[in-house]
Amino acid sequence: MSISITKGYVEVPTVYELDHPLAAHHLSILRDVGTSSPVFRNQVRLLAMLLAVKATEDLGLESVSVQTPLTRMEGKRITGRVAIVPILRAGLGLVEPVLELLPDAQVWHLGMYRDEATATPVEYYSKLPKDNPATVGFVLDPMLATGGSIGAAVNALQRWGVADVRVLSVIAAREGIDRFHAEHPNVRVYVAAIDNELNAHKFIVPGLGDAGDRIFNTVS
């Protein structure tokens, strides 16, 4: 059974799909086969920032004293340690905009590729530490197709000890969302759009093609 997808601003949805005119506008440019690699990268950046704003709206805050040019006041700052974890290589395209919003965050990397014969994730690189886990971890990958790679990344962060893991993805397939939610019902997913299907090769349809190739201009 498919899970319900929440649109709009509501309290702590499990799966959140952006419902915003800017998201719709930038997604249309992103999907267009005629969009050049530089423009594609910029659209990913803009959508990642929209996703990050939503995904961070309930981060913990603490009071801090601030001296303005006129007086002293009580301000706020984010508490805890935040980890940004892109899945190589396509996830790198989402790092910069999230890091702009969270400049003190740590950035760790996970390398995974999909075995084309089995459509299962294969981990080839991990830079996660063994102890001292972050308070919140954001897994970044522009595509959530089958959900396998992102699920494996979430497992890695949970083994590290991160209690609050969240996923940021630009495009997802309904099938992948359903699978991921069944395996990780308490992990929040923030996505710009959810497409209806995967084709026989496990590519999202209508999708946007291979995000890594289009980000890094390696389309053959």
- Residue 113's pLDDT is 77
The stretches of the chain forming alpha helices (DSSP H) are 21-31, 37-55, 95-101, 148-160, 174-183, 211-216
DSSP-derived secondary structure letter, 2? P
CA distance 172 to 40: 17
Structure tokens at 94: 């989402």
In a domain, 1, yes or no: no
- From the centroid of its chain, how far is CA 22? 18
Domain that holds residue 158: 6-216
Count H helices, E strands: the chain?
A: 6, 14
In a domain, 124, yes or no: yes
- Residue 206's pLDDT is 94
pLDDT tens readout for residues 191-201: 999 999 899 88
**Cβ(164)–Cβ(137) below 8 Å:** yes
- Residue 138's pLDDT is 97
pLDDT tens readout for residues 92-141: 999 999 999 999 999 999 998 777 777 677 888 888 898 999 999 999 99
pLDDT at 30 over 80: yes
* pTM confidence score: 0.88
Sign, CA dihedral 159-160-162-168, equals negative
Please state the rounded mean pLDDT for residues 10-35. 86
Of 76-80, 118-122, 140-144, 154-158, least confident by mean pLDDT is 118-122
- Residue 10's pLDDT is 33
82: domain CATH number is 3.40.50.2020
Please state the rounded mean pLDDT for residues 39-52. 96
Of 3-7, 112-116, 125-129, 178-182, least confident by mean pLDDT is 3-7
In a domain, 178, yes or no: yes
Q: What share of the chain is helix, strand, coil (3-state, %, to 5)?
A: 30, 30, 35
In a domain, 55, yes or no: yes
- Residue 5's pLDDT is 53
CA distance 214 to 219: 6
CA distance 13 to 18: 12
Active site residues: 114, 118, 210, 213
Q: How many domains in the chain?
A: 1
Phi, psi of 3 (to 5 degrees): -80, 160
- From the centroid of its chain, how far is CA 29? 19
> Average pLDDT of the chain?
90
Picking from 205, 219, 208, 199, the residue whose alpha carbon sits closest to that of residue 44 is 208
In a domain, 185, yes or no: yes
Please state the rounded mean pLDDT for residues 156-178. 95
